[in-house]
């Protein structure tokens, strides 16, 4: 964080994007993999947020944006990959707690999650059949930008979905984000 401050003169936004994934059931998840997921996902989000906050508090429009899903307690999201769900929801719980804790300081703390699968390396490894039914990463960057330029004092504690953010910003054509325009899209995890 100090290197960022030294290079750029401060920190206005933190994006918690790093994530480890293992789409395995409890008996097939080695504890080292469980620890990695929770260390990178939940602990990483908490630690990076904690380290960025002293500088974010000096910003005129400070934001923390975490790429994590809305909290959905439907057991169907836990049973097939409990360790991964716990790790991702740990990130979302950071959003929930930090948004309330730092609201009076004007820090906007939000999460962003995709409506559909996104054509990333993780999707190609874990859901290879979904790549052609995915959207390009640009949809997430456009949605993130819309959130990060909003007023942090009025935009906090939200679990945003990329498509909803962009619709609210006036985007009507989502075909430009499709890997294969016209193809049926594969929904992402954790959204009903």
Average pLDDT over residues 80-95: 98
Residue 126 in this model has a pLDDT that exceeds 90: no
**Would 12 be classed as within a structural domain?**
yes
Residue 161, pLDDT above cutoff 90: yes
Residue 123 lies in a domain: yes
- Calpha distance 59→10 (Å, rounded): 7
Provide the pLDDT for residue 127.
Answer: 85
Does 192 fall in a domain? no
* In a domain? residue 58: yes
Q: Give domain status of residue 188, yes or no.
A: no
Residues 21-47: pLDDT tens digits? 999 999 999 999 999 999 999 999 999
CB 95 within 8 A of CB 34: no
Specify the CATH number for the domain of residue 59: 3.40.50.720
Do 69 and 114 meet the contact criterion of CB atoms below 8 Å apart?
A: no
Q: How confident is the model at residue 184 (pLDDT cuts 50, 70, 90)?
A: very high
84 is catalytic: yes
C-alpha 174/C-alpha 176 separation (Å) is 5
For residues 129 and 191, which has the higher predicted lDDT (pLDDT)?
191
Q: Please pick, among 84, 89, 145, 177, the residue that the annotation labels catalytic.
A: 84
Please indicate, yes or no, if residue 114 is contained in any of the structural domains: yes
Q: Has residue 189 been placed in a domain?
A: no
pTM comes to: 0.97
Domain containing 91 equals: 2-177
For residue 113, report the phi and psi dihedrals to the nearest 5 degrees: -140, 145
Domain count, the chain: 1
SS (H, E, C) the chain: CHHHHHHHCCCCEEEECCCCCCCCCHHHCCHHHHHHHHHHHHHHHHHHHHHHHHHHCCCCCCEEEECCCCCCCCHHHCCCCHHHHHHHHHHHHHHHHHHHHCHHHCCEEEEEECCECECCHHHHHHCHHHHHHCECCHHHHHHHHHHHCCCCCCCCCCEEEHHHHHHHCCCCCCHHHECCCCCCCCECCCCC
Establish if 190 belongs to a structural domain. Answer: no
The pLDDT score that the predictor gives to residue 59 is 98
Q: Give which of 78, 89, 88 is closest to 25, Cα–Cα.
A: 78
The answer to whether 88 touches 131, Cβ cutoff 8 Å, is: no
């Amino acid at each position: 964080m100090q290197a960022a401050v030294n290079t750029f003169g401060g920190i206005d936004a933190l994006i918690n994007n790093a994530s480890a994934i293992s789409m395995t059931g409890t008996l097939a998840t080695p504890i080292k993999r469980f620890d990695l997921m929770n260390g990178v996902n939940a602990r990483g989000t908490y630690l990076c947020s904690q380290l960025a906050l002293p500088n974010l508090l000096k910003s005129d429009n400070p934001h923390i944006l975490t790429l994590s899903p809305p909290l959905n307690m439907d057991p169907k999201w836990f049973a097939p990959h409990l360790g991964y769900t716990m790790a991702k929801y740990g990130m979302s719980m950071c959003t929930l707690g930090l948004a309330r804790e730092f609201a009076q300081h004007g820090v906007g703390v939000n999460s962003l999650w995709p409506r559909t699968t996104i054509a990333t390396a993780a999707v190609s490894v874990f859901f290879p059949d979904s790549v052609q039914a995915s959207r390009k990463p640009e949809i997430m960057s456009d949605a993130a930008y819309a959130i990060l330029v909003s007023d942090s004092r009025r935009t906090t504690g939200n679990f945003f979905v990329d498509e909803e953010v962009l619709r609210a910003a006036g985007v009507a054509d989502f075909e430009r984000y499709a890997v294969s325009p016209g193809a049926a899209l594969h929904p992402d995890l954790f959204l009903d």
